[in-house]
Structure 1
Amino acid sequence: MLQIWALDNIGEITQGADLADVVIAALDTPLLDGDIVVVTSKIVSKAEGRSLLADDREDAITRETVRVVASRTSESGHTTRIVQSRLGIIAAAAGVDASNTPHGTILLLPEDPDASARQLAAALRARLGVRVGVLITDTMGRAWREGQTDQAIGAAGVHVFEDLRGSVDAEGRPLVVTQPCVADELASATDLVKGKTSRRPVAIVRGRGDLVGSLDLPGARSIVRPPERDMFHTGSAEAYAEGFDAGLRATQSDV
């Protein structure tokens, strides 16, 4: 049976906080082997001192960006940038966020979410003597669909994919490409109990111990699709402009 619940009584996280101690202090029941601790990236960023003055937001987005995927300016004059960050993640504003942060500050994503997850998982395993996994999550939009969901941006001790390739479906047909990203599925599921406004940034998943393994398992960085296999590399307007410019250059070279 799958069980998911959020931890209460987690106060404001400040720079230097020991997140393992924070989680342990908030536990309402002991962790068991195979449990997965799912942590909102904001408290990881706060503990790691990844905050800036709010006046630096646009500059921060630019610094965190390695490639602009799409940029749109609304009638009100607000510009939204969908960018690829230095972590390889494609998201609005490179994950730079001002929600649920102290007034006048913004938060960057953790420097290395997989490393942060490994550190937390190792500390929990050592202090509690149980084999747990850790996921670090952030909220993102999805291509072609309105709204946002939580996704895994850091992972340790958890199989981020459930590889069903080579097995068969209920009708006995072979599965060739089926590889659910269970890390993202669990991230979204835990957001149902954590919520966005309830100040409950940590959740526990119990019942998927089959996904928990070595701390050397590939992290969430392995979820990011390599550029050579990315069929949605560029925003539609940007792709059109690039194609138009290429065609114009080719025409001019023929003249």
Structure 2
Amino acid sequence: MRIGVVTFPGTLDDRDALRAISLAGGEPVALWHAEDDLLDVEAVVLPGGFSYGDYLRAGAISRFAPVMEKVVDAANGGMPVLGICNGFQILCETHLLPGAMIKNAHRAFICRDQPLRVENNRTAWTTAYEAGQVIRVPLKNQDGQYVADEKTLAELEAEGRVVFRYAEGATHGPEGFEVNPNGSRNDIAGITNKYGNVVGLMPHPEHAVEAGFGPDEPGQGTRTGTDGLGMFTSVLRSLVG
């Protein structure tokens, strides 16, 4: 299964996403922001970084990249699309996902291993997990506070569209933000569209896909975390099914 990863000027995590796809058993395909051809991929990942330097606001310029017109059309047609960190910000800018991402409430960049509770395991990107399962993946952002109006938040909750929520057990967090690292409304770390094919989240599953390199397992003192790999095996399973 061919899964594309888009690179924008300022993208940092595209190679990590390409490697995660390969480790999951998919065929990674590099996509370039200035091209309008998705190269016959069956799913797309918008990776993390600081596209266009986060000028204006995070993801605001990338929304107008030629490739995004094709991504939006494909997503509206049912193609699985995953936005990670800056990719989540871009998905909000394109209105494929509701709400917006603003500066962290504590006004500081944060980087830590982050526990997440899987709230919805029925999306194209989360079927490998159990509902309620707590996973650990790295988090690194400065514009990671998810906000939306009360009506939108109520709809997300009522429709089961909150996919990941920040959970207890994080380390090295700013004082007062031990659970919620950035002030996101309702502790939201990731959401989906109404159809479950488009998912965005701030933490980085692509950094937790290889034993020995992922987050520390609590109480073990060893880096054995591969909790992020399930997102990539999930989409391959959804494409086959």
TM-score (norm 1): 0.25
Q: Where is the helix percentage greater, Structure 1 or Structure 2?
A: 1
Larger CA Rg, structure 1 vs 2: 1
